[in-house]
A and B are shown apart, each in its own frame.
Chain A
Amino acid sequence: MKRNPTAFLREEYNELVEKNFDWKLHVLESASTPHAIVDGKKVLMMCSNNYLNLSNHPRVIKGAIEAAKKYGAGSGSVRAIAGTMKLHIEVEKKLAKFKRTEAALVYQTGFAANAGLIPQLVGEKDIVISDELNHGSIIDGVRLSKADRAIYKHRDVGDLEKVLKDADPKYRRILIVTDGVFSMDGDIAPMDEIVKLANEYGAMTYVDDAHGEGVIGPDGRGIGAYFGIEGKIDVEMGTFSKAYGVVGGLIAGSQDLINFAYNKSRTWLLSGSHPPAVAGAQLAALEVLETEPQHVKKLWDNTNYFKKEMQSLGFDTGESETPITPVIIGDSAKTKDMSKMLFDNGVFALPIVFPMVARDKARIRVMMNAGLTKKDLDFALSTFEKCGKQLKII
Chain B
Amino acid sequence: MRIKIGFIVNPIAGMGGRVGLKGTDNKLSEAKKLGAKPTAPTKAKDTITEFIKNNKKSDNIQWFTCAGDMGENELREAGVTKYTIIYTPNSSVTNADDTKNACRELIKKNIDLILFCGGDGTARDIVEVIDKRIPLLGIPAGVKMHSGVFGVTVQATARILDDYMNNNLTVGDVDILDVDEELYRKGEWRIRFYGNAKGIINTTYVQVGKATFESIPEDNIKDELAEHIQEEMKRRPDTLFLLGPGSTVEHIAKKMNLKKTLLGIDAVYKGEIIGEDLNEKQILELLGKHKDVKVVLSPIGAQGFILGRGNLQLSPEVIRRIGIDNIIVVATPAKLASTPFLRVDTGDKNLDFLFYEKEYLMVVIGYRLSRVVKIQKTINFNNN
Contact = CB atoms under 8 A, between A and B. Distances in A.
Interface string A334-378: 000000000000000000101110010000000000000000000
B363 to A, nearest CB: 10
Contacts of A139: 207
Contacts of B368: 147-149
B168 A359 contact: yes
B362 A150 contact: yes
14 contacts: A132-B371, A136-B210, A147-B368, A148-B368, A149-B366, A150-B362, A150-B372, A151-B371, A152-B372, A163-B371, A166-B362, A352-B211, A355-B205, A359-B163
Contacts of A152: 371-372
B211 A150 contact: no
B221 to A, nearest CB: 14
B372 to A, nearest CB: 5
B26 interface: no
Given A150-B371, A163-B372, A355-B205, A21 B212 contact: yes
Contact of A149 (B209, B370, B372): B370
Contacts of A153: 372
Given A132-B371, A136-B210, A163-B372, 12 more contacts: A21-B209, A148-B369, A148-B370, A149-B368, A149-B370, A150-B372, A152-B372, A162-B359, A162-B372, A163-B362, A163-B371, A359-B163
Nearest to B333: A151
Instruction: Give chain A's interface secondary structure class.
Output: mixed
A159 interface: yes
Instruction: Give chain B's interface secondary structure class.
Output: strand
A23 B212 CA distance: 9
Contacts of A355: 205, 213
A356 B211 contact: yes
B360 A162 contact: yes
Interface of B: 163, 168, 205, 207, 209-213, 359-360, 362, 365-366, 368-372
Contact of B369 (A21, A136, A150, A166): A150
A148 B365 CA distance: 12
A52 B359 CA distance: 46
Nearest to A352: B211
Contacts of A21: 209, 212-213
A319 B172 CA distance: 35
B208 to A, nearest CB: 9
A16 interface: yes
Interface residues of A, number: 22
Contacts of B370: 148-151
Nearest to A354: B168
B364 to A, nearest CB: 10
Interface string A36-55: 00000000000000000000
Interface string A152-171: 11000001001100100000
A122 B369 CA distance: 14
A235 to B, nearest CB: 22
Contacts, number: 48
A139 B212 CA distance: 15
A262 to B, nearest CB: 27
Q: Which of B362, B370, B372 has most A Cβ within 10 Å? A: B372
Interface in A158-205: 159, 162-163, 166
Contacts of A16: 212
A197 B311 CA distance: 38
A16 B209 CA distance: 11
Contacts of A151: 365, 369-371
B365 to A, nearest CB: 8
Nearest to A132: B371
6 closest cross-chain pairs (CB), A and B: A151-B371, A355-B205, A149-B369, A355-B213, A148-B368, A162-B372
Contacts of A359: 163, 168
A82 B278 CA distance: 67
A125 B362 CA distance: 17
Contacts of B365: 151
A138 to B, nearest CB: 11
B360 to A, nearest CB: 5
Contacts of A159: 372
A159 B363 CA distance: 13
B162 to A, nearest CB: 11
B169 to A, nearest CB: 10
Given A150-B362, A151-B371, A136 B207 contact: yes
Contacts of A166: 362, 372
B103 to A, nearest CB: 32
A90 B344 CA distance: 60
Q: Which of B168, B359, B369, B371 has most A Cβ within 10 Å? A: B371
A16 B366 CA distance: 26
Contacts of B213: 21, 355-356
